[in-house]
């Protein structure tokens, strides 16, 4: 670990902020493609992200790492599973943004850390501390309140946080690093995505063409929009403390929240206000517990209170 204030830590902090802010502002990018069906955008995202990863892995000289992951049946299978999980997440997010549900996507990603804890307890037998349990119960109450107060289940938020949580779980147990792992995930669905784009071309439904260079450039750039923030995040994760990364992760849904309210003028009624309030309280309890536990581990005085 570099000393605080070192050049590496400073540049890592900038990279981390850039990654999470980019992820938070990406709805603006998808809005530029709102006339393109979400299925086509998703297909382009897989194809061009795969191309971007090929270039990036070649530049970094990490192909031996990729081959080692491919030779591991366990890693390959888990990366295939995480590829399908992230495909669901990406599709719902793109569709939701262009259907006017930006605020609900923000809610989903605010809930993601709490879902990660819950999945860890269910599948990895990680015991919940009392503050973590309170946070999860508050989040459940928030979803219930929105369901009854707003008259419908917030399925977009629930799908996003559950698919992203499942993605994180599969990536954790796969053991693959972020960049080689993303390459394997996109490679699994690359043939399907490319085949779908050829089908759209044959049926004259493809928006990617020489006649529309602006749209085509935006679709090609989906690979950069996906890969560049991941590269920044990977650098930040190597040089920043986990607690710092934990705080930075709230930048993304916060940016999306402000976009939904102030840029896209989505309705923010009482039910949504109460729901977000409960989620923010839950995250405050969750974060305070994480910071306390990290400090206890650092000083060697951790006495876990588990249920």
- Cα separation, 159 vs 19, in Å, equals 23
Q: Which of 117, 112, 141 is nearest to 290 (CA)?
A: 117
Query: How wide is the angle at C-alpha 66 spanned by C-alphas 60 and 69, nearest 5°?
Result: 150
Tell me the pLDDT tens digit for each residue of 237-283: 888 887 788 889 999 999 999 999 999 999 998 888 999 999 999 99
Tokens matching residue 63: 């192909």
DSSP 67: H
User: Residue 192 pairs with which residues in a beta bridge?
Assistant: none
Tokens matching residue 12: 């890592």
Supply the pLDDT for residue 5.
Answer: 52
Q: Which of 94, 85, 95, 87 is nearest to 115 (CA)?
A: 85
Supply the pLDDT for residue 306.
Answer: 38
CA–CA distance from 191 to each of 20, 33, 108, 170, 263 (Å)? 30, 23, 29, 22, 37
User: Residue 306 pairs with which residues in a beta bridge?
Assistant: 129
pTM over 0.85: yes
- Cα separation, 133 vs 140, in Å, equals 11
Supply the pLDDT for residue 74.
Answer: 94
Low-confidence stretches of the chain (pLDDT < 70) are 1-7, 150, 297-307
The torsion angle over the Cα atoms of residues 223, 228, 233 and 238, rounded to 10 degrees, is 110
DSSP 13: H
- For residue 298, count other CB atoms closer than 10 A to its CB: 11
Q: Which of 96, 147, 15, 127 is nearest to 259 (CA)?
A: 96
Q: Which of 81, 49, 86 is nearest to 220 (CA)?
A: 49
Supply the pLDDT for residue 304.
Answer: 44
Which residue ranges make up each domain of the chain? 7-299
Supply the pLDDT for residue 124.
Answer: 86
Supply the pLDDT for residue 253.
Answer: 96
Determine which helix (DSSP H) or strand (DSSP E) holds 233, and give its type and residue range.
helix 222-239
């Amino acid at each position: 670990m570099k000393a605080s204030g070192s050049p590496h830590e400073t540049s890592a902090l900038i990279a981390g902020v850039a990654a999470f802010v980019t992820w938070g502002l990406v709805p603006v990018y998808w809005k530029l493609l709102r006339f393109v069906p979400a299925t086509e955008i998703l297909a382009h995202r897989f194809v061009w992200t795969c191309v971007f990863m090929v270039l990036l892995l070649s530049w970094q000289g990490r192909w031996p790492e990729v081959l080692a992951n491919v030779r591991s049946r366990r890693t390959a299978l888990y990366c295939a599973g995480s590829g399908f999980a992230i495909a669901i997440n990406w599709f719902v997010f793109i569709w939701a943004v262009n259907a006017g549900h930006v605020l609900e996507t923000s809610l989903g990603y605010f809930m993601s850390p709490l879902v990660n804890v819950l999945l860890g307890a269910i599948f990895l037998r990680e015991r919940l501390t009392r503050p973590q349990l309170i946070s999860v119960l508050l989040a459940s109450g928030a979803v219930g309140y929105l369901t009854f107060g707003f008259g419908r289940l917030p399925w977009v938020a629930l799908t996003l946080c559950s698919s992203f949580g499942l993605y994180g779980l599969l990536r954790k147990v796969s053991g693959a690093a972020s960049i080689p792992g993303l390459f394997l995930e996109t490679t699994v669905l690359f043939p399907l995505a490319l085949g779908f784009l050829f089908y759209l071309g044959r049926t004259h439904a493809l928006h990617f063409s020489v006649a529309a260079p602006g749209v085509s450039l935006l679709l090609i750039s989906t690979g950069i929009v996906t890969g560049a923030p991941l590269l920044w995040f990977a650098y930040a994760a190597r040089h920043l403390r986990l607690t710092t990364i934990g705080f930075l992760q709230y930048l993304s849904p916060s940016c999306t929240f402000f976009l939904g309210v102030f840029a896209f003028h989505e309705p923010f009624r009482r039910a949504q206000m109460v729901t977000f309030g409960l989620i923010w309280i839950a995250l405050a309890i969750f974060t305070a517990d994480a910071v306390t536990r990290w400090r206890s581990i650092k000083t060697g005085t951790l006495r876990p209170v588990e249920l």
